[in-house]
Amino acid sequence: MAEKVLSDLEKAKMATPLWEQVKQAIDAGDSDAAKEILDKTVAQWASLKDYSINWIASLLTFVAEELGEDAVERALRKTGDEFVRPRRSTGNDWGNLPAAQRAKVIARSMLANMGDVEVSEDEEKITLSFRCGSGGKLIDDGRYEGDDAYWTLREAGPRTFMRESLPVYCAHCSINNEIQPIEWGDAPTSIEYPSEGQGGRCTHFVYKDVAYTPDDAYRRVGKEPPE
């Protein structure tokens, strides 16, 4: 019979999540080891995140190729109804939350998605500018170019923010973050302007009073402004 190839220490390490290894290193007073493991944790998460966004973009591309762009919207609407809407159902109307709180939630999500964030503010709104770590990264990585390019939506309308084109992954921004919340009787998550090319930034406007959201923000997603 072949000899064992894993020591008890190796097996224990394989069964211990990296974040727990960080805690163990901190408890042991080994800050250098803790930092090294933390960097490894972040790199592992980034790899899994990139795998997931490519998986989603590939699936949506298949849907568009086989069934058309309307089917992409239907697929994202199903995700919105079954997953996004319950996440918004916290008992607090999104539009009634303080603008600072709404902006912090969005910024926290984008940072967790490996993006970078710039924040500015004027009298009417908070502006968040991102190098997006998901849809924007796919653009920056050239995944919408070449022989195996992911699908680019070409049927201008609400799901493309009335643009002539929109990378398929970015359609969740229009459908799940703006169109559906309005249909559910709530405020859009934010008013988004996705990156338009490699090196571009994604801009979100968070209005301090959602009642003063410009009319054009509604019409570009096919909705009439509320009374």
CA 204 to chain centre: 12
Predicted structure pTM score: 0.92
Cα separation, 50 vs 70, whole angstroms: 26
114 φψ region: left (φ > 0), alpha (ψ -120 to 50), beta (else) = left
* Number of domains forming the structure of the chain: 1
- Is residue 191 assigned to a domain? yes
The strands making up 125-131's β-sheet, listed across from edge to edge, are: 116-121, 125-131, 202-207, 191-193
- Is residue 134 assigned to a domain? yes
pLDDT digits (tens, 9 = 90+) for 128-147: 999 999 999 999 999 999 99
pLDDT digits (tens, 9 = 90+) for 38-84: 999 999 999 999 999 999 999 999 999 999 999 999 999 999 999 99
- Is residue 170 assigned to a domain? yes
pLDDT digits (tens, 9 = 90+) for 179-212: 999 999 999 999 999 998 999 999 999 999 999 9
- Is residue 21 assigned to a domain? no
Range of the domain at 116: 68-219
| Cβ atoms 203, 192 nearer than 8 A | yes
- Is residue 23 assigned to a domain? no
| 130 SS3 class | strand
* Residue matched to tokens 């390490």: 13
Checking if the pLDDT of 226 tops 90, the result is no
- Is residue 144 assigned to a domain? yes
- Is residue 212 assigned to a domain? yes
- Is residue 11 assigned to a domain? no
